[in-house]
Every structure is written in C-alpha cells, then in structure tokens.
Structure 1
Amino acid sequence: MSETVADHVLTRLREWDVEQVFAYPGDGINGLVTAFGAAGNKPRFVQTRHEEMAAFAAVGYAKLSGRPGVCMATSGPGAIHLLNGLYDAKLDHVPVVAIVGQTARSAMGGSYQQEVDLQALFKDVASEYLVEVNVPEQLPNALDRALRTAIAQRAPTALIIPADLQEETYHPPKHEFKHVPSSPPDHPRASVIPPSEEVARAAEVLNAGEKVAILIGQGARNAVTELREVAELTGAGIAKALLGKDVLPDDLPYVTGSIGLLGTRPTYEMMRDCDTLLIVGSNMPYAQFLPEFGQARAVQIDIDPRFLGLRYPTEVNLLGDAKGALQQLIPLLERKTERGWRERIEKRVGEWQETVTRQAMLDAEPVNPMRIVHELSERIPEDAIVTADSGSATNWYARNLRMRGRMRGTLSGTLATMGSGVPYAIGAKFAHPDRPVIALVGDGAMQMNGMAELLTIARYRELWADQRCVICVFHNGDLNQVTWELRAMGGAPKFEPSQSLPEVSYSDFALEIGLGGIAVDDPALLGDAWEVALSADVPTVLDVRCDPEVPPIPPHATFEQLKSMTEAVLKGEPDAWHLVTQGIKTKMQELLPSRR
C-alpha cells in the first residue's frame, strides 16, 4: 500500500527521534490513529484521560527531558481542550508541538459538526508557528518548521491536518515553482556570546559592588559550574526563581532559596540590602521582591532580548546563553577579599533552615503540611524528580524541599494552573523511566483531574524500569490557596460553599486500580510512610490528611499585617481561634534564637 499523509507524519516524527505522542483519539484524527497501528505504535500513542492532560504531559516531558514534547487531539472539542496545557508551555517557554485534526476540507465553512476555526483558536497560543496543511506536498516543511520553531523559540507550535487529507497518498514536494522543500531533521546547536565591550561593562559593575546578589531562573540551568565560580569571586548569595529551584542545590551555604511570596527570609533580606544585582536566565515577574528601583546597579543575562531589562532597570544587558556569557565574564571579575556580606548571607541561610525545620515540626490537626515536605526532604533520593501542582502545596515545595544531587523539580510557573502536577509526573516518567518521580498535589487538583490520570499511570507503569512514582496528596478538604488569598488579600473569611471539597479516599482509589495506597493521619507515622512509598515496586498514592489552617505566611509578613488578617478571619471563620493559633505559632519560629 502507498504511504498516506498520516503515515508520513509518523515517519517524520520518528526521524525527529520523537518516542511518544501524548494524545486522545477522535474521528478528526482517525487517519493518524490508523497510521499508529500500521507503524507498530512507533512513536508510542500515550492515551491520557483528557486532551488537556495530554498537553500537560507533553509540557512536563519537554521541561524534564530538554527535548520537544508532542501532543495530539481531534478537531473541535479535542483541540479546544489542549489550550490550557499549551498556554502553560507558552508562558514557561517550553517547546511543545500540537498536532490537531480538522473537519474534512470539503465541509469547511459549512457549519459542519465539530468545525471550529482552529486558525483563530490557536493564533495566540501558537503565535510562533501555526499552519494548516492542505496538500500532501506541504507536509514535511510544515512539520519540520513546527519542530524547529518550537525548539528555537522555546514555545508551543501547532499543525492542523484536515481529516480527509490524513488518508490521502503522500507526495513529497517537487523541485518546482511554489513548492517548498525541507531538510532532514537535525538538532543544531549554537552558543550566543555577547559583545566583549558589553561583557567588560558588566564586569565593571559587578567589581564595583560591595553587596552582590544573584537571581537565577531556569535559563541558567546550563551554567552551574560558572554560577558557582561567579558567586565565589563576587562573594554573592544566589536566590532562585521558582522555575530555577533545581538549578543549584540547596546544600550550598550561599544559596538563599526561593524568591517572592513563596520565598525565604534570607532571599528577601538579601534583595532588600544588596547594592548590586546580577539576573541570569530569569523572568520572575514580581518586581516588588527585587531591590528598590535605584538601590542596586544591575546586570542581566538572557538568551531572549524581549526579556532584557523587563523587570528591573538594568545598567548592562548581555544577550547570550548563560554559560557562554558567564564564561566570558569570569576572567574579568576580581575576587572580593572582604567577605562580610557573604558571611552574613550564610549565617541567615543557616538560621532560616533551623526556622523552617521548627515550623515543620509544629503540632497541627492532624498533620502539619510543612512536615509532609520536610520528611520527604530528609529521605528523597538524589536522582529524584519532583513535580508540584498549583495551590498551597506549592508553598511547601518552594520552602521546605531542599534540592541536592541530581534532583530535578518543576511546576506550572507563570500560568500557575491547577491540574498539572500528575500529568507532569507522567511526562517525567516517560522522559526518565529509570528515575523516581514524586508529585506534590493538593486534593483540589486531584479531584479536578489527578484521580483520572492515576489510571494513565496504572496503564503505562510497566514501561518504566523504575516503578517508583509517588503521588502525595495534601488532603485538607479545602481549596486552600484561594482560601488564604481571600483572607490575606480580600480581608474576608473562608466562604464554605466555594472552598470546601467533597470527601474521598485517594489511597483507597489507588488501591482499587492496582496502585499502592497509603493513608496517613498521624505525623509520627509520616516518615515511615515516605520510606515505604519511596521503596515501593508499584506507583503509590500517599494520602496525608493535613491541617488547612497552617498559614503560608510570606517571610516578609509583619505582625501588623498578620493582625489585620486575624481581624478579618475573626469576622466569620468557623474555626477561627485554631487558625489564629497556628499563624502565631508559625510566625514565632522566626523569632526564636538560632543554635548556631
């Protein structure tokens, strides 16, 4: 039989070394589904429970593999469902290619079933490259450009293939007018180096500073050795944006941890007091957590010129990749002999670690959510991958999980969408089937879509050499992050009809579908439960009943601000005094003397 257009799509994906496509079937991609069967399911069709989850899994795979993720959906509703995951890729700068079906060309414009204007629908999310393939000869160039653009621009792209075209015989483009050829798939790499005169200006700024602070993001991941050397020469501390949490380990004494609302006190104080700021590969949007404008002279390094000088009034902007730019900069830096600034940072980091430990060990009803991550951090393998969902659990991931070794971690950073934690974990297991994966997920996100994706884990787990995949559920019966936002930002008590969740046992559900399940409601049993889950030979749900009234208090919060929130809470909270007590106990840990 002759090769169809759909057959050639899969042939080309294999040539691009695409090993799996996260997808959900529908008649708009019947031709492609048939082609998967004819090709022996290579690349593998990974069937998620929902198209949005397919997109999220592709994002998680791309973030943690360094390779483009590919997702696929049918026309109309299937294509629509992809959007949230694709926006996650767009806002976090992740290469993902979406292949979507469309109604037959003969029916277009006729208000046909499931006909949606996909060009208009994807115009924003796939703004870097979006094309509808209407003749076979158009295909190789369109698919290759979608992948090349996704990789080069670190962005989602989309390819629309009408249902009838998928089943047509494939014809390659000819060497003639109005035909566009394409080259074989490749993976070109280049190091972008800023001009030497700009590097010299940056060195002058950093050498003149007495209190240097460094902020790194995910764009600094290829420059670990160089970052350590710059920190040593300048005597700087290094803060991490949330997407850059895994760039440097937290056992380095000058790494101050996360920045922002979910950040640490050492980071807050370092930004408050520094006189010089170096930003490397970060587009952290919350400028209020950076030094006061005019307080610090600033240098920024970024591969994308659109983000240079965007968050802080920088004096020197270096356009280039982090590793190459820092390698050019290091020989021009003078080692600072006065180390008082560094010593102060290291002292504050040590004190903060003690504070966070004390906060995690506070009694709660029944389990302190901070302790969940604290106990994990004590036991987590050094090659583990951690995904975190959006919600109050994100606070504890940001503050209580200490990165070390080869650990990786990620979450939905800029979009901060619920529901990404479990499909990210699935993507991580396909990216690294030989490494343990842990997802930290709130019960709201589990009820939204995480429970359904446990079925996906159960279905594909045998493909993973290392079966360890722990889904840890922060089971508090509350949409907790929004509840705290209502209290702190809106000055309003919890509104039960919108915030409370139906009761369900996540561990029992896991056991019913053939996974492991552990329920914990006693903090004394939590450490042992983690050890069992992390050594299990089957993916396991760790269902921990935790206290919704343990506050995610930002490190910069004052007692006056806490007083204002308390007054709001006392207006109508059903368990107001317990909530206030937990807040006071948590904040008081910052005032206790250090043992150092």
Structure 2
Amino acid sequence: MARTVGDYVLERLRDWGVEHVFGYPGDGINGIIAALGRADDRPRFVQSRHEEMSAFEAVGYAKFGGRVGVCLATSGPGAIHLLNGLYDAKLDHVPVVAIVGQTARSAIGGSYQQEVDLPSLFKDVASAYVQMATVPAQLPNLIDRALRIALAERAPTCVIIPSDLQEEQYEPPAHAFKHVPSSAPGHTRPVTRAPEEEVARAADVLNAGSKVAILVGQGARGARREVMEVAEITGAGVAKALLGKDVLPDDLPYVTGAIGLLGTRPSYELMRDCDTLLIVGSNFPYSQYLPEYGSARAVQIDVDGRMIGMRYPTEANLVGDAAETLRALIPLLRPRKDRSWRRTVEGNVRRWWNTVERQAQVDADPVNPMRLFWELSQRLPDNAMITADSGSAANWYARDLRFRGDMRGTLSGTLATMGNGVPYAIGAKFAHPNRPAIALVGDGAMQMNGLAELITIQRYHRRWSDPRLVVAVLHNNDLNQVTWELRAMGGSPKFTESQELPDVPYAAFARSLGLEGIEVDKPEAIGPAWERALTCGRPAVLDVRVDPDIPPIPPHAEFEQLKDVAEAIVKGDPDAWGVARKGMATKAQELLSRRR
C-alpha cells in the first residue's frame, strides 16, 4: 500500500522522538487513526475521555518530561475541546503541538457538518504557529516547524490537516519553485548569557545590599546549584513563585516557600524587609507582594527579554539562561560577612514550619485539610511527582507541602483552570512511568473531569513500571476556594445554590473500576491511608472528608480581607459559627508560634 499523508505524519513524529500522542478519535482524523493502526501504535496513542483531557495530559507530559507534548483531535467539536488545555500551555510557557482534523477540502466554505474556521479559532492560543495543510508536499515543513517553534518558544502550536488530505498518497516537496523543503529533526536550545557589562552592573547592586532576597520561578529550574551558591555568598533568603515550587527543596533553612496570596509568612517578611531583590526566571505578576517601590534595588535574570522589568523597577536586566548568567555573576559577588539577615530569615522559616504543624493539628469536622498535606509531606517518596488542581488544594500545596530531594510539582499556574490535576498526573506517568505520581484535587475538580479520567488510569496503569498514582480528593461538598473568595474579597456570605456540590462516593467509584479506594473521615486515619495508598501496588483514590470551614486565608492577610470575612458572617453566612471558631483557632496557632 502506498504511504499516505497520515502515515507520513506519524513517521515524522517518530523521527522527532515523539513517543506518545494524547487524543480522542473522530471521523475528522480517520486517516491518522488508520495510520496508527498500520504503524503498530507508534507513537503510542493514549485515549482520554475528552479532548480537553488530552490537551492537559500533553501539558503534564511536557511539564514533567521536559519534552514536547502532542495531542490529537478531530475537527469541529474535538478541536474546540482542546482549547482550555492549550491555553494552559500558552500561559505557563509549555511546548505542546496540537494536530487537528478538518472537514474535506472540497467542503470547506460550504457550511458543512462540523466545519469550523480552525485557523481563526487557534489564532490566539497557537499564535506562535498555526497552519493548515492543503497539499501533501507541505507536511514535512509544517510538522517540523510546529515542533521546532513549540520547543523554541515554549508555546503551543497547531497543524490542521483536512480529512481527505490525510488519506492521499504522500509526495515530498520537490526541488522546485514554491516548494519548501525541511531539515533533519531536532532542536537544541541555544546557551545564552547576559553581556559582561550588565553582569558587572548586577554584581554592584547585589554587593551593595545588606538584606538580599531572591525570588525564583520555573525559569530557574535548571539552575538549582547556582541559585544555592548565590544565596550562600550573599546570605539571601529565597522565595519561590508558584510554578517554581520544585526549584529548591524546602528543607534548606533559608527557603521561605511560596510567595503571594498563596504564600507563606516568611516569604512576605522577606520581601517586606529586604533592601535588594534578585529575580531569577520568574514572571510573578502580583507586585503588591514584592518590596515597596523604592525600598529595594533590584536585578532580574530571564531568558526572554520580553519578560524583563515588567513587575518591579529593576536596575540591571540580564537576558540569558539562568544557570549560565548566574555562573558569570558568582565570581563578582563578595561574600557577606554579616550573617544577621540570614539568621533572621532562618528564624522566620523555623517559626513558619512550627506554625504549619500546629495549624494542621487544629480540630476540624471531620478532617483538617492542612493535616492531609502535613502527613503527606512526611511520606512523600524523594522522586515523587505532585500535581495540584486549582481551588483550595492549591493553597495547601503551595504553603504546607514540603518538597525535598528530586521531587517535582506543578499546577495550572497562570490560567489557574480547574480540572488539570488528574490529567497532569496521567501525563507525568507517561513521561516517567518509573516514578510515583500524586494528584491533589478538590471535589469540584474531581466531579468536573477527574472521575472520568480514573477510567483512563485504570486502562493504562499496567504499562507503568511503578503503578503508583494516588488521587487525593478534598471531599467537602463545597466549591471551597470560591466560597472563601466570596467572603474575603467582597464580604458576601456563601451562596448555597452555587457553592454546594452533590455528595459522591469517590473511593467507591475507584473500587468499581478495580482501583484502590480508601475513605478517610477521622484525622488519625490520614497517615495510615497515605501509607496504604503508596504501598498497595496499584493506583489509589483517597476520599478524604475535609472541613470546608478551615480558612485558606494567607498568614499575611490584609485588614480589608479580614473585615470582609467578618461582614460575610454578620450578613448570615450559613457556616458562620464554624468559620469564626475555626478561623480564630487557626490564626491563633500562628500567634502562639511567634511568641514561642
């Protein structure tokens, strides 16, 4: 049989080293699906329950695997379903390639069934590169450019292939006018470093400071050793943006943890009191959590010059790879002899972890969600991959979970979409089938799509050399983050009709699929439940009955936020008594810890 365009597309993906394609079938991609059958499932097709999950799984695969994620969808509705996951990739700077079907070329423009103007649809989300093929000779260049640009720009790209074209005989581009050839597959990121004069200027700023703070984001992930060396020389404390949580381990005494609304008190104090700020690989947008304007001199390092100087008035702007630029900077830094600032930072960090432990022990009805995360921290395998969904789970993930060793973790940092936690973990397992994965999700996200993706986990977990994938569900029958946002940001009481969720037996559903299902409804059962889930030899669901009245309010909450919560209670919040009592008990642990 002659090689079709569908056959060639898969061949070119294999040439690029693509091992998995996350997708869902449909007649708009029949030519590619048939080609997968002829190719002995290479690259391997991973069938999700919904195209949005395919995109999220490709994002999770790329985030944890460090490679491009590829997703596949049919025309019309299938293509539309990809958008949320692709926007997640765009906003978090993740390389993902979407291959999408389209109605036959002869029908385009005729209001045919499932015909959508796909180039216009993907124009924003795949703005780095979106093209539709019309003849076979285009394919080498289109596939290669989509992959190369996704990797170079750290962005989603899209190739649209009409259904009839997929089944045509493939013909390569000729050595002819208006034919565009392509080259050998592969992409190597260039090593860049800021100019020497800018590095020297940055060193002068950092050497002049006596209270240095470092903020790292995901762009510093490959510069762990260099960041640690700069912190030691300057006596700095290091705070982490949400996507940079796994850049440095939390057992370093000067790492203050997350910053921002989901951040820790020592990070807040670090930014409040520092006189010098070094930002490495972060585009953290909430400038109100950075030092007051004029109170600190600042230096920024970022590989993308478009992101420089956007969030804080920086004096030295170093465009270049974080590790390379820091290596050039280190010999110019003078060791800090006065370590009083470092001792202050480390004292704040010690008090913080004492506070976290005390808050995790606050009585709740029935389980304090912070204890769920505190108990997990002590049991996490050193090579664990952790995902968190948007919602109150993200608060506890950011503030209470202690990373160490080679742990990796991520969530939907910029889009902050719900429903990413479980498919991210599935993508992570295909990237590293020999490492355990843990998804921390609220019951709202679990009902949105997590339950369906348990079916995907059941289908594929035998392909993973380490079968451990634990989904912990914060079961409180409440869209808890929004409930607290209503209280803290507008002084509005909980609106039951929008916030309450149906009661679902998550563990029982897992057991019905042949997975491990564990119910937890008392605090002393949390530790044994984690141990059972991590040793049972198959994927597991922890169905944990957590208390919705434990407040995810940051320890540095502003007066206006506290006043709004009080107003919501006065206005008749249905959970007023529990909110007031448990909120005061939680806050009291912080005050007691600071006094000690």
Which residue pairs with 1:104 in the alignment? 104
Which residue pairs with 1:311 in the alignment? 311
Instruction: Please say if 1:362 is aligned against 2:372.
Output: no
Write the mapping of 1:376-391 to structure 2, written as runs, cut at 5 A.
Answer: 376-391=376-391
**SS at 1:519 equivalent:** strand
Bigger CA drift: 565-574 or 299-308? 565-574
Report the CA distance shift for 1:26/1:349 in structure 2 as closer, same or farther (over 3 A).
same
Distance 1:104 1:458 in 2: 36
The AA in structure 1 aligned to 2:445 is A
Alignment check: 8 A CA contact 2:354 2:593 kept: no
The AA in structure 2 aligned to 1:61 is Y
**SS at 2:71 equivalent:** strand
Instruction: Please say if 1:349 is aligned against 2:349.
Output: yes
Alignment check: 8 A CA contact 2:489 2:564 kept: no
State the shift of 1:187 in Å: 2.6
Which residue pairs with 2:466 in the alignment? 466
Which residue pairs with 1:540 in the alignment? 540
Write the mapping of 1:61-100 to structure 2, written as runs, cut at 5 A.
Answer: 61-100=61-100
The AA in structure 1 aligned to 2:323 is K
Which residue pairs with 2:228 in the alignment? 228
**SS at 2:378 equivalent:** helix
Q: Which whole-Å deviations, capped at 9, do the CAs of 1:528-550 have from their partners, x for residues lacking one?
A: 00000011111000000000000
Distance 1:59 1:458 in 2: 20
Report the CA distance shift for 1:39/1:487 in structure 2 as closer, same or farther (over 3 A).
same
Alignment check: 8 A CA contact 1:211 1:236 kept: yes
**SS at 2:494 equivalent:** coil
Q: Which whole-Å deviations, capped at 9, do the CAs of 1:456-484 have from their partners, x for residues lacking one?
A: 00000010000110000000000000000
State the shift of 1:434 in Å: 0.3
Instruction: Please say if 1:166 is aligned against 2:163.
Output: no
**SS at 2:22 equivalent:** strand
**Structure 1: stretches of 5+ with no match in the other structure:** none
Write the mapping of 1:143-292 to structure 2, written as runs, cut at 5 A.
Answer: 143-292=143-292
State the shift of 1:554 in Å: 1.0
Distance 1:280 1:34 in 2: 47
Distance 1:186 1:561 in 2: 51
**SS at 1:228 equivalent:** helix
**SS at 1:292 equivalent:** coil
State the shift of 1:190 in Å: 1.8
- Residues matched between the structures, number: 596
State the shift of 1:559 in Å: 6.2
Which residue pairs with 2:482 in the alignment? 482
Alignment check: 8 A CA contact 1:506 1:541 kept: yes
TM-score, normalising length from structure 1?
0.99
Distance 2:363 2:519 in 1: 19
State the shift of 1:561 in Å: 4.3
The AA in structure 2 aligned to 1:269 is E
**Structure 2: stretches of 5+ with no match in the other structure:** none
The AA in structure 2 aligned to 1:95 is P
Alignment check: 8 A CA contact 1:467 1:536 kept: no
Instruction: Please say if 1:393 is aligned against 2:393.
Output: yes
Write the mapping of 1:447-458 to structure 2, written as runs, cut at 5 A.
Answer: 447-458=447-458
State the shift of 1:568 in Å: 1.8
Alignment check: 8 A CA contact 2:22 2:55 kept: yes
State the shift of 1:295 in Å: 1.1
The AA in structure 2 aligned to 1:301 is I
The AA in structure 2 aligned to 1:155 is A
Alignment check: 8 A CA contact 2:239 2:257 kept: yes
Distance 1:330 1:426 in 2: 39
Distance 1:287 1:9 in 2: 45
Distance 1:96 1:524 in 2: 42
**SS at 1:532 equivalent:** helix
Distance 2:198 2:561 in 1: 43
Alignment check: 8 A CA contact 2:492 2:567 kept: no
Which residue pairs with 1:49 in the alignment? 49
Distance 1:49 1:552 in 2: 32
Which residue pairs with 2:578 in the alignment? 578
**SS at 1:592 equivalent:** helix
State the shift of 1:562 in Å: 2.3
Which residue pairs with 2:136 in the alignment? 136
Q: Which whole-Å deviations, capped at 9, do the CAs of 1:341-385 have from their partners, x for residues lacking one?
A: 000000000000000110011110000000111000011111100
Which residue pairs with 1:520 in the alignment? 520
**SS at 2:342 equivalent:** helix
Distance 1:543 1:582 in 2: 22
Which residue pairs with 1:122 in the alignment? 122
Q: Which whole-Å deviations, capped at 9, do the CAs of 1:44-70 have from their partners, x for residues lacking one?
A: 110000000000000000000000000
Instruction: Please say if 1:411 is aligned against 2:411.
Output: yes
Distance 1:342 1:571 in 2: 45
Distance 1:150 1:577 in 2: 51
State the shift of 1:231 in Å: 0.2
Alignment check: 8 A CA contact 1:553 1:587 kept: no
State the shift of 1:564 in Å: 4.0
**SS at 1:188 equivalent:** coil
Q: Which whole-Å deviations, capped at 9, do the CAs of 1:149-187 have from their partners, x for residues lacking one?
A: 000000000000000000000001111110000011113
Which residue pairs with 1:436 in the alignment? 436
Distance 1:150 1:400 in 2: 34
TM-score, normalising length from structure 2?
0.99
Report the CA distance shift for 1:559/1:318 in structure 2 as closer, same or farther (over 3 A).
closer
Alignment check: 8 A CA contact 2:60 2:424 kept: yes
The AA in structure 2 aligned to 1:215 is L
State the shift of 1:595 in Å: 8.9
State the shift of 1:594 in Å: 5.4
Which residue pairs with 1:332 in the alignment? 332
Alignment check: 8 A CA contact 1:96 1:150 kept: yes
Identity %: 70
State the shift of 1:293 in Å: 1.1
Distance 1:560 1:159 in 2: 48
Query: 4+ runs of 1 displaced by more than 2 Å?
Result: 558-564, 593-596
Distance 1:2 1:499 in 2: 57
Distance 2:553 2:76 in 1: 43
